[in-house]
Structure 1
Amino acid sequence: MGVVAVILALGFAVWREIATSPDHCVQRSLSAYYYTPVRPVFVGALLAIGFAMIVMWGMTWREDAALNLAGLLLMVVALVPTLDANYCSLPKAIRKTVPDTETKEIADNALIKANAEAVSRSFTALLFVVALILLLTAVAGVVMMSRPSSTIHGPTNAALIGYAVTWGLAAAAWVFYFVIYQDADNPHSAFNHKVHSWSANLAVAFIILAVVFAALHKAHGNEPARTKWVWFYGLVAATMVLAAVVIKGGDHLDLFSGWVDDHATFLLEAILIALLGVFWTLQTIDRRAKGAPRY
């Protein structure tokens, strides 16, 4: 239930910031609260949730793999801030106006410069730790596989393939982040402008996959009450997908107006994090009497 508590803490901190702002202004994205007094809770919450996703075992290797990758990506989202941070700092009368290219470039460059040292320290620390974990995982895998099969109860072939793909993707992500970070000093680089959004979108995709895999696991199980859990997990996954399609699609097609148009990203992020809390609560109830899975 620690993950649910962290989500509640983040929600309360954001609500408190909105309630105490002069005109109850809501940022255009949840990530924009990085630049408010909510920053310690925002960063800490994403790091804690990401860490929990990695260390907690999914009931199948597919679910576990999706959670591992989602957790890694959420940590990147926490440490590399968005550049959409000026909404509530602007006078209310001009918040909806689109800044000219030069003004936006100046604002973006100022944000990048102001946070460069913090991003450098935290992101390089993450790269170092992930590289160390990948190395140790590879060594442990080689040692385990080199032992006589009669002395250990190893994973199934399907799980071996799954984890090879999982850690291969994690290694590829590390290489990608390492290479793209080399251009971090350039204010126009993809690292400063794209890494946050790319990582957030992929993290959401892997979270949805994890929920889908949980539903599929229940669908193929032998438990008497499995049907209701298929419906529970399936409903959470379907709601996540529906929210992403409707809100993001509507935003790109200019179907919304007013507050929803200005805060489509915030609305979607809030819904998805709330549904993640629902999923984790369902897992806690469903799996409270089970030990570590074997596959």
Structure 2
Amino acid sequence: MTTDPTATGARQLVRRTDLYLRLGMVLLVLLLAAAITLEWLRYGSLLDSVSAYYYTPAHAVFIACLCSLGSCLIIYPGRTGFEDVTLNAAGFLAFLVAFVPTSRGEAECDPHRAFCDIPSSTIAANVAAVLFVGGLGLVVAYLAPILGTTRGVLAHAGDRHARIALHVLTIGYVLLVVCFLAERATFLRMGHGWSALVLFVGLIIVIVNSGLHLGRQGGKRVWYWGILALALLAMATVWIAGKRGAMEHWVFVEESIVIAGFTFYWITQKVAEVWAEPDPEPETEAGDRVLTSRPPRRHDILGG
């Protein structure tokens, strides 16, 4: 059998890189969970939401994990253009969730447990930097097809669904910038909640998109729908219980379900969808399939 060792090594390198990137994201989620758990054990009670730990000694871990996760979501390429743009949008929103804190509410601030004074000027400066870099990313995405760089890192630039998703993302970005410039106080008050909501919706869309693009692989399709159905059922149950006053810290539980569900999907996606598939046949430099040592078929022997 004739093989190309260079191509084989490149495929193995891509798979290892994919594995390490996925494991890195899982470790970031575990780091955030560890910081929250330690705060819980130290003070004996949970806060109302994961985002509320922005104000605790877990402040640095909360911001670092969200920014790192956002970077990974942007770096990781989707299997389709639509999924790629969705992952990029989710990654961008993760930075806003990290830098724009949730509302403290009416709770009294304990200086031994929380940061009681986060200057709005500091928050606004961080948000301005994120919006600036996000705008540059959109400019690059729109210039790529014009400059003919539709391969490599922007391989989906010519995808119709990707272009539609990119236009929607651009509209959302423009609205964010307008709100930030014209209604700064409103943005700082509501930006975290809306960014987190759209981020979670984006993660759910990624799971749905994976289920829709499994072709005829029925068993694997059921796998994705099962993950999504369980997550949505758990979220609906918790939401109803929380609204009826039957569950304390229900927002925290809701956020934890989304994070845990996407993390489980992220861990199992490769095993269920890609690694179980055989490697594609290697190709020569001219793009032709390399002949393998298979037994000759009847029509080959007859010259058919």
TM-score, normalised to structure 1's length?
0.75
Instruction: Tell me, in whole angstroms, the C-alpha distance in 1 between the residues paired with 2:164 and 2:78.
Output: 16
Matched AA of 2:135: A
Q: Which residue of 2 aligns with 1:171?
A: 170
Query: Unpaired runs of 5+ in structure 2?
Result: 1-22, 280-304
Cα RMSD of the aligned pairs, angstroms, is: 2.9
Q: Amino acid of the residue matched to residue 230 of structure 2? A: T
Following the alignment from structure 1 to structure 2, what is the Cα–Cα distance between the partners of residues 72 and 56?
13
Equivalent residues in 2 for 1:146-185 (5 A)?
A: 160-183=159-182
Q: Give SS of 1:194's match.
A: helix
CA contact (8 A) 1:26 1:88 kept: no
* Equivalent position of 1:206 in the other structure: 202
Shift of 1:87: 4.7
Corresponding residue to 2:134 among 130, 151, 163 = 130
Contact 2:47-2:53 at 8 Å conserved across structures: yes
1:52 aligned to 2:72?
A: yes
Judging changes above 3 Å, is the alpha-carbon distance between structure 1 residues 156 and 184 closer, same or farther for their aligned structure 2 residues? closer
Flag structure 1 segments of 5+ consecutive residues without an equivalent. 91-109
The equivalent residue for 1:192 is 188
Any idea what the Cα deviations from partners look like across 1:199-258, whole Å, max 9, x if unmatched? 11111111111101111212x14xxxx33322221122112222332323443xx3232x
Distance in 2 between residues matched to 1:5 and 1:85, nearest whole Å: 31
Contact in 2 for aligned 1:208/1:240 (Cα 8 Å): no
Q: Is the aligned partner of 1:255 residue 2:251?
A: no
How many positions carry a matched residue from both structures?
Answer: 250
| Separation in 1, partners of 2:64, 2:175 | 24
2:29 alignment partner in structure 1: 7
Which structure: larger Rg?
A: 2
Partner of 1:217: 213
Provide Cα deviations, 1:132-152, integer angstroms capped at 9, x if missing partner. 11112222221118x9xxx99
Change in Cα spacing, 1:64 to 1:240, as seen in structure 2 (3 Å) is farther
Q: Shift in Å at residue 115 of structure 1?
A: 3.0
How big is the shift at 1:176? 1.3
Indicate if the aligned counterparts of 2:52 and 2:102 stay in contact, CA closer than 8 A: yes
Q: 1:115 aligns with which of 106, 113, 119?
A: 119
| Letter paired with 2:245 | F
Q: Secondary structure at the match of 2:46?
A: coil
TM-score, normalised by the number of residues in structure 2: 0.73
| Equivalent position of 1:244 in the other structure | 235
Classify 1:190/1:239 alpha carbon distance in 2 versus 1 (closer, same or farther; 3 Å).
Answer: farther
